[in-house]
Amino acid sequence: MVTGNFAMLAGVDPHALHEWYLSVYADAFEWVEVPNTVGMSQFADGGLLASKPYAASGAYINRMSNYCSSCRFDVKQRTGPESCPFNALYWNFIARNRDKLSGNPRMAQTVRTYDKFAPAEQERIGESAARSLTRL
């Protein structure tokens, strides 16, 4: 869930990710891995398998796992040097895919929330996401 989420938020090519999963996991079988990666994880099948992108910010990762317990980043901050990189990447994903997501009944409210952010905050989100990806 975490690697797939990161790849989608970062804009990694879904088919390249699929090939990578097949090469690094000994138990990855194409018949299982294709729908899980291309359909669910990356929402790259146009919504045939899943009704919305499986995109998540740091808050969701924190709620659903213990990965954040020893992390140096603040999962409650959206931007800034101490903010969880998943937060800016998530909101930047929403901004990048705004046109597609605004028509999705399960994502429209999230798009409206992003639209309510001040233009300066939207700019900080884009800059913070770009910095996170540049550091990779």
Asked whether residue 88 is assigned to any structural domain, the reply reads: yes
Asked whether residue 73 is domain-assigned, the answer is no
Measured in degrees and rounded to the nearest 5, phi and psi for residue 59 equal -60, -45
Residue-level pLDDT, tens digit, the chain, 136 residues: 899 999 999 999 999 999 999 999 888 888 888 888 998 899 999 888 999 999 999 999 999 999 999 999 999 999 999 999 999 999 999 999 999 999 999 999 999 999 999 999 999 999 999 999 999 8
Residue 86 lies in a domain: yes
Is 34 part of a structural domain of the chain?
no
Stated pTM of the model: 0.93
Number of domains in the chain: 1
Domain that holds residue 123: 79-136
Residue 114: give its domain's CATH number: 1.10.10.1710
Question: Cα separation of 84 and 60, whole Å?
Answer: 12
